[in-house]
Amino acid sequence: MLFYEDFLKGVKAGKLSLAFRRWNRARVKVGSRLRTQLGVVEVLDVAEIKDADVTDRDAKAAGYTGKEQLLEELSKREGQLFRVELKYSGQDERISLRSQATISAAELEQLKAKLAGYERKGAWTRETLELIAKRPATLAAKLAKSFGLETQFFKRRVRQLKDLGLTESLEVGYRISPRGKAYLKSLNKGK
């Protein structure tokens, strides 16, 4: 689910707690934790409802002036109406993770095991980290081309590394995080 920044600010402040979407089927599940630019938002409930079931109170909890404004906005989309209850769950844990400039021996072994799982069809994690380290702030398409990969496939790989706190997204491209640098340094010690 994508959210506007003002909406997220309202959720973070506890002023907004609902979102409405038109989908063919629910696209989030209860318990999902959605990473956003302002932190993690948790899905507390997802319910398929009818337009007539929307109340002014619900609309205001979603950031609208009332039911009429909400339904007018939603009339631009097709699909079944879903009411999604949300709450702010704190800062994205990857932020503190990626800022760690040291890795313990136990963490290193966990990282190696996790990355080995990603590489069942061939090694790529170290090469990708090293390329990003050499070419920070480079378009993903250019980095992907270096490996002969489609851009979206390459981006999925980098997201896996980002989830482990090894990379950071920039306005354009990526960079290695302090944790990523520590990981690469530990690998190079073993050479």
Q: Where are the domains positioned within the chain? A: 5-91, 94-189
pLDDT digits 0-9 by tens, 143-182: 999 999 999 999 999 999 999 999 998 999 999 999 999 9
Q: How far apart are CA 15 and CA 118, in angstroms?
A: 40
Question: Which superfamily is assigned to 5-91 in CATH?
Answer: Sulfate adenylyltransferase (3.10.400.10)
Nearest in space to 157 (alpha carbons), one of 146, 170, 167: 167
Do 28 and 46 form a contact (C-beta atoms < 8 A)?
Answer: yes
| pTM for this entry | 0.64
Domain 94-189 has CATH 1.20.1740.10: no
